[in-house]
Every structure is written in C-alpha cells, then in structure tokens.
Structure 1
Amino acid sequence: MKKLIALVALASTLITPAWAATQTVTLSVPGMTCAACPITVKKAISKVEGVSRIDVNFDEREAVVTFEDSKASTKTLTDATTNAGYPSSVKQ
C-alpha cells in the first residue's frame, strides 16, 4: 500500500507540468527610441524564468514574447521591461 501511495504521489508531481500552457503576448514598448534599446529590452525579458522566445521590433516599438504561464505572467514581463527603464503594456 505504501508503494502505491508513493507511486501516485510521484505521478502527480510529474503530471503537474503538463497543466502549464505556453502563451504568446505582444508588449507595447513605446520608450524604445534608439537601435540599442531592443537589445536592452530583450536582455531584460530573457531573465524572466519561463520565457522561451522573444522577438523585439524597434520599428513597431513592440516585443512578442512566448512564455510558460506556470512560470511567468504578463505582469512579470512588463515588470522586467519597466525595471530595465522601458515601461511596457500588453498590446490589445
């Protein structure tokens, strides 16, 4: 019986990451005013755990970010850019 309980506990911890979903969000970053700005924004976002892809477009003043929603959120992404000096918001 103890082995069965241990097996069920182990299985539930292995299954939990399957509930996480990958999301993609577009952030508006209007403060990017020079060619070096996208580098700083990308570096700041890349430090957020769970981020798997970042595309920063200087001409559009936006960043498209793909992340795992169990490890990151839109708030952590916007906080990361804000802390780097580039306030952002989710683009609708």
Structure 2
Amino acid sequence: MKKLIAVFVAMALTASTALAEGLRMVTLDVTNMDCAVCPITVRKALEKVPGVTSAKVNFASKRAQVVFDPKKASVDALTNATADAGYPSHVKQVP
C-alpha cells in the first residue's frame, strides 16, 4: 500500500512540473496486461512516440500516465502505440 501511495505522489509531482512547462498529461486505461512484464512493454511503446517526455505504467491499476508535448504528439498517437504493442487503451482522464 505504501508503494502505491508513493507512486501516486511521484505521478502528481511529475504532472504539476510538466503542466507548468506547457506539456499535457493523460491517463490511459490499458487492457490485456496480465503479467509483470506487460507494463514494461507498454511503457517502451509509449516512450517511442515523438513528444512523449515520460510514461509511467502501473500493473495493479492497469493504467498508464503519460506526459507529452501536444505540439509533437496526440492522444490518438498514444493509444495507437499501445494498441500496436498488443495492449489497447482508452483515455481515462484528460486534465
């Protein structure tokens, strides 16, 4: 439980810094993750999208939080990247 809280605190700090720089954050619900290696695959797929500055994937919640430059990347590009890696996703939250 403490690890989960620490992860969410870290995500919140990353998000506030990124948003101050004109970046955008999106949370994706990711399907088909069924093992501990899946989040690594999803994270790597997201990080390959031009304009992505950070991607954090949580296996327990089946969510990915992505910070990106909206001038270089789009939400569609992010969801396409996860789907192409075998893990379809959809937007959970757009701040």
Relative to the length of structure 1, the TM-score reads 0.76
**Which structure has the larger Rg?**
1
**1:21 paired to 2:22:** yes
Work out whether residues 38 and 58 of structure 1, in 8 Å CA contact, stay in contact via their aligned partners in 2: yes
For structure 1, the 5+ residue unaligned runs are: 1-19
For structure 2, the 5+ residue unaligned runs are: 1-20
Relative to the length of structure 2, the TM-score reads 0.74
Show the 5 A alignment for 1:13-92.
21-92=22-93
Following TM superposition, the consecutive aligned residue runs of length 4 or more in structure 1 with deviations greater than 4 angstroms are: none
Identity of matched residues, %: 53
Compute the RMSD of aligned alpha carbons. 1.2
